[in-house]
């Protein structure tokens, strides 16, 4: 990197840390950012407490994670507007570790998870999120919307009567009718305020107004419905530095490493997909590797301060963006408000009815679900429609990381199959009696067998010319197919000439290398082959 490039990068970094939107920070913009942060902080409380229960740890462990991860990623993350904190996708992985080894091993795992994420950022692995196809993204947001919806159902059940899972509560007893009816009515009221207020004014974020109206009604009239305090007390002090009390042995490393790898992968996948989603809404691009480093640093710090770790939260990010949060100030404010709740405002926050927060999350569900995907299912290719449905279902039944990996694999296989069917050849015979094969379509592992079947070594004349001008040799399987073809013609005592192959092909072909006819218009591209082929360990006959 040149000094000029370094200076530009530093300038961009300093500009980013100023936290200011284009045009500067006006009092109206600052008010919007702060109110958006307050709305997000209110929505974070029940989520952090619930996910702490899922992981089998104290509620403050979840709240501290939401504060620390949220603050650090807001300061240095790859996309202003994103909100991070404790999430259910990570909590369901942590529960087995906590149950078997205790919470101290969880803290050590979170530290190692953060180190792995920092390494991924430094290696710039975040760019591979570009390989996620659009149908996978649609399935991701649809599945996540359903997961968010299911997670809210636990608020309609008697506390302590349900078995908590990553998607909410299961097997619990529903609230009695005298409580359920008013709660449903309050949820509907909150949703109505959020929907109607933007049509009247944008003075305050609609979700915050919905929470305020519903909370005022419940507190003012003493309506008996579940409140935040019914989940757990959120009163606490400042998180303190704490080195995980685990033996520094190889056995400890062997215990925590598998969990750390899984947590790091899930956290980065969810964070990078959320980064793309927020980017689509705000018109921003880039920042994937920076987000990896920010998530890693946040989790490393959190592990040393008694937090359960976390990653980007798509629900709270949607609340922030739709409430007007566009800069880092909103995320920082959300984290600081959450800390204030823990330190001084717990008694007041615990009075807020859960119905108000559920109503906000239900509106997030409606806004997150890609409703247009239902209309296009019948119009897009069958494979894309299958991927959308598959990723949605796997997200709900398993987790986001598994769903995305499955979707990418299926999409890649479908792409390979479609390209494998494109290999074909146009043939003609020259006046001199030579047969010309003009190959069309990519030659790679999927089309290698079909490529060989295009030829007739026994029936072809003594001279055969294979022209790759309209083709591209992609990988080692393609090279092996060319070698095999040359061997078949050689066995028949016939001559083969290979035209319009790249210099990379010339160098890597062994047996057929002397059959290549050089020309000024030979293409110039590299092959995706492994080290073994390049060094001659693999390849040839």
**pLDDT value at 164 more than 90:** no
Residues 478, 329 share a domain? no
- Specify the long-range contacts of residues 14-18, CB closer than 8 Å, at least 24 apart: 16/80, 16/328, 17/75, 17/76
Query: What does the block give as tokens for 532?
Result: 């073994």
Per-residue pLDDT tens digits for 307-364: 999 999 988 999 999 888 989 999 999 999 999 999 999 999 999 999 999 999 899 8
pLDDT recorded at residue 58:
92
Residue 208 covered by a domain: yes
Residue 40 covered by a domain: yes
Residues 212, 95 share a domain? yes
Residues 474, 342 share a domain? no
Using CA atoms, how far residue 238 sits from 125, 305, 334, in Å, is 34, 10, 16
Per-residue pLDDT tens digits for 218-237: 999 999 999 999 888 899 99
Residues 223, 283 share a domain? yes
Q: In which band, very low, low, confident or very high, does the pLDDT at 162 lie, cut at 50, 70 and 90?
A: low
CA distance 537 to 231: 63
**pLDDT value at 391 more than 60:** yes
Helices (H), 239-313: 250-282, 288-303
Residues 459, 312 share a domain? no
**pLDDT value at 533 more than 60:** no
Residues 294, 361 share a domain? yes
pLDDT recorded at residue 503:
78
Q: What is the average per-residue pLDDT within 155-178?
A: 70
Q: In which band, very low, low, confident or very high, does the pLDDT at 202 lie, cut at 50, 70 and 90?
A: confident
**pLDDT value at 169 more than 80:** no
- Cβ–Cβ < 8 Å for 243, 236: no
Residue 432 covered by a domain: yes
- Specify the long-range contacts of residues 208-212, CB closer than 8 Å, at least 24 apart: 208/35, 208/36, 208/38, 208/39, 208/42, 208/323, 210/356, 210/359, 210/360, 210/363, 211/39, 211/42, 211/352, 211/356, 211/357, 211/360
Neighbours of 20 (CB within 10 A): 14
Percent of all residues in the chain with a pLDDT value above 90, rounded to a whole number: 55
Query: What does the block give as tokens for 3?
Result: 């000094």
Residues 454, 353 share a domain? no
State how many domains the chain has.
2
pLDDT recorded at residue 527:
73
Residues 427, 297 share a domain? no
Residue with tokens 């319009």: 500
DSSP string for residues in 161-227: SSEEETTEEESPPBPPHHHHHHHHHHHHHHHHHHHHHHHH--SS-HHHHHHHHHHHHHHHHT----B
Residues 89, 185 share a domain? yes
Instruction: Provide the β-strand partners of residue 466.
Output: 437, 498
Domain range for residue 511? Answer: 421-534
Per-residue pLDDT tens digits for 437-453: 999 999 999 999 999 99
**pLDDT value at 13 more than 60:** no
Residues 467, 366 share a domain? no
**pLDDT value at 380 more than 80:** yes
**pLDDT value at 24 more than 90:** no
Q: What is the average per-residue pLDDT within 177-190?
A: 95
pLDDT recorded at residue 64:
96
Residue 410 covered by a domain: no
- How wide is the angle at C-alpha 242 spanned by C-alphas 238 and 248, nearest 5°? 165
**pLDDT value at 18 more than 70:** no
Question: What is this structure's pTM?
Answer: 0.76
- Domain boundary pick from 376, 393, 411: 376
Nearest by Cα to 238 from 122, 123, 92, 339: 339
Residues 201, 93 share a domain? yes
Residue 149 covered by a domain: yes
Residue 17 covered by a domain: no
Residues 252, 117 share a domain? yes
**pLDDT value at 19 more than 80:** no
CA distance 142 to 149: 11
Average predicted confidence (pLDDT) for the chain = 86
Positive or negative, the CA dihedral 210, 215, 218, 224 is positive
Which helix or strand (DSSP H or E) is residue 411 part of?
helix 400-420
Residue 236 covered by a domain: yes
Per-residue pLDDT tens digits for 57-82: 999 999 999 999 999 999 999 989 89
Residue 392 covered by a domain: no
Residue with tokens 């937090």: 307
Q: Tell me the pairing of strands 435-443 and 495-499.
A: unpaired
CATH number at residue 437: 3.30.750.24
Q: In which band, very low, low, confident or very high, does the pLDDT at 257 lie, cut at 50, 70 and 90?
A: very high
pLDDT recorded at residue 161:
53
- The tally of CA atoms less than 13 A away on the side-chain side of residue 249 is 6
Nearest by Cα to 511 from 471, 476, 540: 540
Per-residue pLDDT tens digits for 186-195: 999 999 999 9
Query: What does the block give as tokens for 480?
Result: 């092996």
Q: Which DSSP category does 153 fall into? A: G
């Amino acid at each position: 990197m040149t000094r000029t490039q370094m200076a530009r990068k530093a300038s961009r970094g300093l500009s980013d840390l100023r936290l200011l939107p284009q045009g500067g920070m006006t009092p109206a913009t600052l008010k919007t950012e702060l109110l958006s942060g307050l709305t997000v902080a209110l929505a974070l409380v029940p989520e952090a407490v619930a996910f702490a229960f899922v992981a089998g740890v104290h509620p403050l462990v979840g709240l501290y994670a939401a504060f620390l991860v949220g603050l650090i990623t807001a300061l240095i993350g790859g996309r202003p507007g994103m909100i991070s904190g404790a999430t259910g996708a990570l909590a369901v992985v942590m529960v087995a570790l906590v149950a078997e080894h205790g919470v101290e091993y969880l803290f050590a795992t979170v530290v190692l998870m953060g180190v792995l994420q920092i390494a991924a950022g430094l290696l710039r692995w975040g760019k591979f999120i570009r390989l996620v196809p659009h149908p996978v993204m649609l399935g991701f947001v649809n599945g996540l919307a359903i997961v968010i919806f299911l997670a809210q159902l636990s608020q309609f059940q008697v506390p302590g009567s349900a078995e908590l899972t990553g998607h909410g509560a299961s097997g619990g007893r529903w609230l009695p009718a005298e409580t359920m009816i008013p709660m449903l009515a309050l949820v509907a009221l909150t949703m109505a305020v959020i929907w109607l207020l933007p049509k009247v004014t944008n003075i305050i974020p609609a979700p915050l107004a919905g929470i305020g109206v519903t909370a005022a009604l419940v507190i003012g009239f003493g309506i008996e419905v579940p409140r935040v305090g019914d989940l757990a007390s959120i009163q606490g002090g400042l998180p303190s530095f704490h080195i995980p009390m685990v033996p520094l042995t190889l056995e400890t490393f062997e215990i925590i490493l598998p969990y750390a790898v899984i947590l790091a992968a899930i956290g980065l996948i969810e964070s990078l997909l959320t980064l793309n989603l927020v980017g689509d809404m705000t018109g921003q691009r880039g920042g994937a590797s920076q987000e990896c480093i920010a998530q890693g640093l946040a989790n490393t710090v959190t592990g040393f301060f008694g937090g359960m770790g976390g990653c980007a939260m798509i629900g709270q990010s949607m609340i922030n963006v739709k409430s007007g949060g566009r800069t880092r100030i909103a995320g920082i404010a959300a984290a600081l408000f959450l800390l204030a709740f823990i330190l001084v405002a717990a008694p007041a926050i615990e009075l807020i009815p859960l119905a108000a927060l559920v109503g906000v999350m239900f509106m997030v569900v409606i806004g997150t679900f890609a409703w247009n995907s239902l209309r296009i299912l019948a119009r897009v290719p069958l494979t894309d429609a299958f991927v959308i449905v598959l990723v949605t279902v796997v997200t709900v039944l398993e987790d986001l990381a598994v769903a995305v990996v499955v979707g990418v694999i299926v999409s890649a296989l479908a792409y390979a199959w479609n390209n494998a069917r494109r290999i074909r050849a146009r043939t003609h015979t020259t006046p001199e009696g030579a047969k010309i094969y003009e190959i069309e379509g990519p030659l790679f592992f999927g089309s290698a067998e079909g490529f060989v079947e295009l030829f007739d070594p026994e029936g072809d004349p003594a001279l055969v010319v294979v022209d790759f001008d309209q083709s591209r040799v992609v990988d080692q399987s393609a090279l092996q197919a060319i070698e095999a073809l040359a061997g078949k013609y050689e066995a028949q005592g016939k001559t083969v000439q290979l035209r319009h192959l790249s210099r990379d092909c010339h160098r890597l072909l062994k047996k057929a290398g002397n059959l290549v006819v050089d020309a000024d218009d030979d293409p110039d591209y590299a092959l995706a082959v492994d080290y073994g082929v390049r060094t001659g360990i693999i390849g040839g006959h």
